[in-house]
Structure 1
């Protein structure tokens, strides 16, 4: 066998072990007994130790030096393996195992603190997570910015400076649009009444399959914070229910299906290889956001959803499909990022980006986080945070050490705006199809242009190849101003 063949055989086993680690994480969120968190932390540390050993095996360096790529796919494999190898070699095995152990346990501590509205109960654990990530960032950064080093795990090639510049360009138009909407005097009512959980879950499963989720290679469970897990032939999603807000269930499901469809849509030839997954969290988020928003919240598709909700729940007090469309897209300030409308959502992300960058850089102490969060939220949203679960305890990300992840949510929105403009250009009868509940034209286009390629191309190259243009914030902002300008008479 050639050096390349030996390397890929070894890598396939590493990828399989990584999938097992991911399955442990899925189980922790969905099925694991509450009292098992300490043991699960040890299990996660043990498997991370094995993965770290494999990812830093000296033979990888020898194989990389000797491998002769035969084509573009082989070149991409070597690029991804080399990037992981070089990064992992910089992080001591002891530190990698400790991060895995602490973040596994921290997830349970966060959940208990969130439920009891007690930030102080979580603060020491969060401080430990931040310190570990700072240590990791110092090992990776080699004198550069800590946050940039961590960002590479989620969006290769991006920097805090480039993302900060993008966010600075977006903020004025977002703030102006928000102000115009809230000052318009228009305000469609939210849903009223209760919607039973069984009906929500049945319609949620129907929506998942309507958006192309392959249940033969997936499943839907409940979790506090919806997520997608796995790749290839086993891709699982979760959702949540609220008797007073079925949209939370439906759009959480559609959002996670976007992630899952990306993983299920990757070319099977890439199964258990470095290319057999989404190339970055920004591109991943572009799939979930375009599924959820540009497709799922469009006037055409909400007309179909209105009919389906009436069939499942009966008359729920919304007069017609036009009123329903306005209700689905109602703009209102709220505390929770995952429940935010399209106008406010990116403002939530911009705030988190600034706060977590300050935490990692050492400019913000964990003890000062609630005050910093509450002050920034009041400035950006005009509301006083009433309790920690509506403030800095609402997201799971920091408890599990995902520093550098948050900005990819807005980056994904930017990418989704670019993809949506190209999709509309290439599928002129899209609305007629969506009005019948048929998303096939959209999901097939996305699978062909983005999903099947997995990590074959770098993130911006993926979007550039799919759309024919460089990624930019313009299409997203134009879409938001056009959609909500029409809804609110601006």
Structure 2
């Protein structure tokens, strides 16, 4: 066997073990008994130790040095690029630190869930302090004298820099704030005013998953406190949640996670259990979930079809026609929860988190001051006060999981989705007539063939530029939001 073949054989086993680790995370979020938390933290730490040993194995450097990259095709060169990147990052982090992080965040998740249920940030603060210290130590090892936050951001969006995102988000904010103020000055659009049973919500959620191309022979839908997706290839799982008075929470969380799931399911099977055989970055991943959920799922055309499905499932639920239903799906109103926010205000939620976590990583913001800082920033941005921690600093799972550097990829994904939507509508001019029939195949097929099937073959910026026909910029997203919400609110 050649050095490249030896490297890929070794890497496939590592990737398989990483998938097992992910499955443990899915289990912990969905069906694991509460009493298993302590044992699970040890299991996660043990598996992370094995993975770290494999990712830092000195043979990887030897194989990489022996490979003649000029003899490789595009896929081979991409595999080498990604393996080298992962190896170089991994050898900077001591195994003891990697296992300590895995053990601590596993415990931290349960503590966060209980603190959230009790609306008690003080109960979560000590473990968050531990997690933050470990992640800052990891960031220092990865940064090698550079910016700590950039080192963590690079985990989720390779090549991205906080300063560049800050400039992009700074360009987003003025038009978002101006449009938000104009919309909120108008009369509120009608919403839902009845209860929707869980069985009906989950039935419709599964219908939507199939409608957007999710393959149930290689996936499943379960319930979790915080909706998420997990896995790749032939085992891709998603979760959602039900709220009796807000079925859109369930339905659009499902469509969102289906976007993630379909990305993983649609990657070329030849890449399975390799670095190329997974999403290129969290920003690119989020572009798929957001375009499925918003530009497709919340469009006037698709909501017209969904209105009929809602009536078939729930009967008369108080919304008289398709136009009113479209307004109910997209209405802008004050709210605390990021995952329930309308398209117009969603990015303002993300920018708040981006700034706060940069302060935590830099040391400018202490965990003890985080709740007050959150509440002050929220009131300044949204104009009303946070009423309880579960609607504020405790609402997201990310910091309990140590995912510092993850939040900005949500807004970056929205920017990417705006660019992709512009290109999609140019490529499929009859898109709305298809969506009005509940047919998403042209849209999801375009995304599959243009972007999803390639997995991590290219860098995130290259992927979006190639698919959208232009480098990523905030302009198309802002233009889309202006057109949509000015139309909805007759501005």
Give TM-score scaled by structure 2 length: 0.99
- Secondary structure in 1 matching 2:276: coil
The answer as to whether partners of 2:190 and 2:324 remain within 8 angstroms in 1 is no
**Superposed displacement of residue 186, structure 1:** 2.3
Confirm whether residue 34 of structure 1 aligns to residue 42 of structure 2. no
2:151 and 2:195 mapped to 1: Cα distance? 46
Other-structure match for 1:125: 127
Other-structure match for 2:365: 364
1:309-349 deviation line (CA, Å, top 9, x unaligned): 00110001111000000110000111000000000000000
Other-structure match for 2:210: 209
2:440 and 2:224 mapped to 1: Cα distance? 26
1:72-123 deviation line (CA, Å, top 9, x unaligned): 1100000000000000000000000000000001000000000001100000
1:429-458 deviation line (CA, Å, top 9, x unaligned): 000000000000000000001100000000
2:104 and 2:159 mapped to 1: Cα distance? 28
- In structure 2, the gaps of 5 or more residues are none
1:383 and 1:186 mapped to 2: Cα distance? 18
Other-structure match for 2:408: 407
1:159-201 deviation line (CA, Å, top 9, x unaligned): 1101101011111001000011011x22112201100000000
1:139-170 deviation line (CA, Å, top 9, x unaligned): 11111110000001100000110110101111
1:368-423 deviation line (CA, Å, top 9, x unaligned): 00000000000000110000000000000000000000000000000000000000
Matches within 5 A, 1:386-401: 386-401=387-402
1:119 and 1:203 mapped to 2: Cα distance? 35
Other-structure match for 1:150: 152
1:231 and 1:186 mapped to 2: Cα distance? 44
The answer as to whether partners of 2:374 and 2:393 remain within 8 angstroms in 1 is yes
**Superposed displacement of residue 253, structure 1:** 0.2
- Secondary structure in 2 matching 1:216: coil
- Secondary structure in 2 matching 1:54: helix
- Secondary structure in 2 matching 1:489: coil
2:457 and 2:463 mapped to 1: Cα distance? 8
**Structure 1: 4+ residue segments shifted above 6 A:** none
Other-structure match for 2:245: 244
Other-structure match for 1:113: 115
2:146 and 2:169 mapped to 1: Cα distance? 21
2:246 and 2:394 mapped to 1: Cα distance? 21
2:312 and 2:54 mapped to 1: Cα distance? 53
Other-structure match for 2:385: 384
**Superposed displacement of residue 68, structure 1:** 2.2
2:45 and 2:435 mapped to 1: Cα distance? 46
Other-structure match for 1:469: 470
C-alpha RMSD over aligned residues:
0.5
- Secondary structure in 1 matching 2:137: helix
- Secondary structure in 2 matching 1:244: coil
2:313 and 2:144 mapped to 1: Cα distance? 57
Other-structure match for 2:351: 350
- Secondary structure in 2 matching 1:229: strand
Matches within 5 A, 1:24-173: 24-69=24-69, 70-173=72-175
Confirm whether residue 5 of structure 1 aligns to residue 5 of structure 2. yes
Other-structure match for 1:457: 458
Other-structure match for 2:264: 263
1:410 and 1:457 mapped to 2: Cα distance? 21
- In structure 1, the gaps of 5 or more residues are none
Other-structure match for 1:293: 294
2:455 and 2:184 mapped to 1: Cα distance? 40
Matches within 5 A, 1:479-490: 479-490=480-491
1:235 and 1:438 mapped to 2: Cα distance? 23
Give TM-score scaled by structure 1 length: 0.99
Length, aligned pairs only: 489
1:211-232 deviation line (CA, Å, top 9, x unaligned): 0000000000000000000000
1:256 and 1:14 mapped to 2: Cα distance? 26
Matches within 5 A, 1:157-236: 157-183=159-185, 185-236=186-237
